[in-house]
Amino acid sequence: MKQLNPSIKHNLIVGLLLSLWIFIFAFIIKPFDDGTLNFRSWFLISLGFSVIAFLCYGILAFVQKAVYEKKAKWNSSLEIGSVLFFYVIYLICIYTYYKSPILKGGYDFGQFFSIIFIKVALVVTPVIVLARRYLIKLIPIKDEVLIIRGENKLDVLKISKADLVCISNAQNYVEIFYLENEKLTSKLLRTSLKKVQQDFDFLLQIHRSHLINPMHFKSWRNQNTVLLTQIELPVSKNYKEALLSL
């Protein structure tokens, strides 16, 4: 997984759902029942394990956010490391709770790990994996900003990618057509069409003098002309094939 949702709020919701699942799993299914635990013991185990899971996942949420902001990226190694980090602190915490005066657990660490913790991990891991994958879908889509520069240091245009309609050659300049308050506006910059196309490879060439933002393509007016948002442009025969594939 090469993405991470760093939102503390979203990850705490995952932690809450995870704790509820652990409580239901431990209290109802009773996977560790050896016939000696009474109702009070099961309730304390279930409640303790679930609350600790929430707290540990909360710690993970803050730690992974700090790592993500420092590295400015995420990859599979960091994802696996995050899940393992959660399990390490969760194991330490629930074993400490198990051996505390509240439960007075009789298993040593090896027995606790093999008899109790592995069962918990097997049930919890699919939930964590699926929940973390779902969180990626909740990442807000950022409006990509384009910065188009001319040869002059003062020739700069900063616009949203979604607002850029097309760019046309104008001798030693290019004329950039874009939407501003839903109205078509243009600005001249001293640069070449070729340079702009190299900088922004999503632009589609439809004529030796015109580049368009494909998202503003509306329809064909005729065989040699296309309609874009609030403007129409000619299409050269050499570039028609690429446009027909849209």
Residues 115 and 176 reside in one and the same domain:
no
Q: Which of 4, 129, 147 is nearest to 65 (CA)?
A: 4
> How distant, in Å, are the alpha carbons of 20, 86, 132, 135 from that of 5?
21, 16, 8, 6
Assign residue 72 a region: left if phi > 0, alpha if psi is -120 to 50, beta otherwise? left
Q: Decide: helix, strand or coil at residue 177.
A: strand
Q: Answer yes or no: do 133 and 149 share one domain.
A: no
Is residue 145's pLDDT more than 70? Answer: yes
Q: Which two structure tokens, joined as six digits, stand for 220? A: 């064909």
72 pLDDT above the threshold of 80: no
**Confidence band (pLDDT; 50, 70, 90) for 147?**
very high
Contacts of 153 (CB under 8 A, 6+ apart): none
Q: 169 and 63 in one domain? A: no
Q: Which domain holds residue 20?
A: 8-137
- Among 107, 137, 167, identify where a domain stops: 137
**β-pairing, 183-189 with 173-180?**
antiparallel
The answer to whether position 3 is within a domain reads no
pLDDT at position 38 over 80: no
**Do 159 and 235 share a domain, yes or no?**
yes
- Given pLDDT bands bounded at 50, 70 and 90, which one contains residue 73? confident
pLDDT band at 144 (very low <50, low <70, confident <90, very high): confident
Residue 1 lies in a domain: no
Q: What pLDDT does 136 receive?
A: 87
- Choose among 180, 141, 186, 138: nearest CA to 163: 180
Of the given ranges (36-45, 198-207, 212-221, 226-235), which has the lowest mean pLDDT?
36-45
The answer to whether residues 131 and 101 belong to one domain is yes
How many CA atoms lie within 13 Å of 73's alpha carbon, on the beta-carbon side? 4
Residue with tokens 């702009």: 196
Domain count, the chain: 2
CB 230 within 8 A of CB 184: yes
pLDDT for res 71: 81
Confidence of residue 62 (pLDDT cuts 50, 70, 90): very high
Would residue 78 count as lying in a domain? yes
pLDDT at 185: 96
Average per-residue pLDDT for the chain: 90
* In the predicted structure, residue 34 carries a pLDDT above the cut 90: no
Whether residues 52 and 133 share a domain: the answer is yes
- Find all residues with CB under 8 Å of 163, minimum gap 6, and list them: 178, 179, 180
Q: Residue 143: what are its φ and ψ, rounded to 5°?
A: -75, 110
> pLDDT per residue over 99-117, tens digit each?
999 888 888 999 999 988 9
